[in-house]
Amino acid sequence: MKLPLKTSFAAMEAKAVDRLPSGEGWQFEPKWDGFRCVAFRDGDEVDLRSKSGQPLARYFPEIVRGLLAAKGGATQFVLDGEIVVPVAGELSFDFLLQRIHPAASRAEKLARETPACFIVFDLLVDERGNDVSVLPLRERRRKLDRFFKKALARNAHFQLSPCTEDRSVAQEWLNGRIGTDGVVAKRIDEPYHGGDRLAMQKIKRMRTADCVVGGFRYASKGKLVGSLLLGLYDDDGLLHHCGFTSSFTEAERAPVTAIVEKLMRSTGKGTGFSGRAPGPSRWSTERTGEWVPLPPVLVCEVQYDHWSDQRFRHGTKLLRWRPDKAPRQCTFDQVLGKRLKRRSSNGKTRGATAA
């Protein structure tokens, strides 16, 4: 069945679960931290669509050119994958966000300075324009492996996502740190379920870190704390702002406020952060744009899901206070863990990690 470019494929969604599924019949892949993208090529036309169906092609001209340069006679195909921006060996979500800019000249400049990579993990239409989305994932993956090797393997802007049916390997990915924020599990005997969550699960990696509370912001209304500002020490002994936590229930907010205000009364306003300081809150009003510095003596343990660009990318969850922990022990070493080494091809793991 020949499919024209205008045919739409809604991206397959994933159901969030707490742990890796057990039993047979699952394929596991890293959950990449980027922009989900369905890529269409039909002759000289290329279109990139986000998970919500928004156009992305104008923001990633290097990906468009790479798809047009596909080898092996691949001129009509549809791929599912993730657009990421590697910077200094890590995937940078901040640099990725910079790509969403209205000026074509700016997009081209960023494409040269910090080129994006399209990590491919599914084939929906093959190089001859045949719809393969109706096939089980096991067959689609074999076709994708062959397609990628023939059409895109020599293009630096494309990488093939690794996959495995070995749950122990997937658990290593979940425990390790390879520029991802979890693992995706897909039913190997199911076709591509565009737009629904029938055949895919996602397991996000949740990690903890001990941080120094270098300051706080009051809530926009009332006299209670809205968020605690978190810091970590570098090798030079400088305390850098690295994120925030605001995950307090209404019942918890008053005790948190009492703790920081008691610290202020006993010590006065502190110096806050000796390194990188907080910027304006993304939700800032006239009041919440300001923050109150504290002496670097209060330590708390927080739970986080992703770390990039020297900070927690999302808000963290306050777990507990750590009076037993010395503030200077709260260093970047906690979050700069070991990178998962590339595994040799042994029939269990295929593809390559993004560099």
- Catalytic one among 2, 6, 15, 31? 31
DSSP string, 253-322: HHHHHHHHHHHHHHH-S----SSSPP---TT--TTTT--EE--TT-EEEEEES-EETTEESS-BEEEEE-
Let me know: does 170 contact 28? Beta carbons within 8 Å: yes
Return the amino acid letter for 185. A
CA distance 91 to 290: 30
For residue 31, indicate whether it is catalytic.
yes
Q: Considering only CA atoms, give the Rg of the chain.
A: 23
CA distance 57 to 354: 21
Q: Is 169 left (phi over 0), alpha (psi -120 to 50) or beta?
A: alpha
Rounded to 10 deg, the angle between the 104-113 and 61-68 helix axes is 80
Q: Would you give the DSSP letter of residue 196?
A: S
CA distance 288 to 15: 35
CA distance 298 to 160: 45
Phi and psi for 113 in degrees, rounded to 5?
A: -80, -45
CA contacts within 13 A on the Cβ side of 319 = 14
Catalytic residues: 31
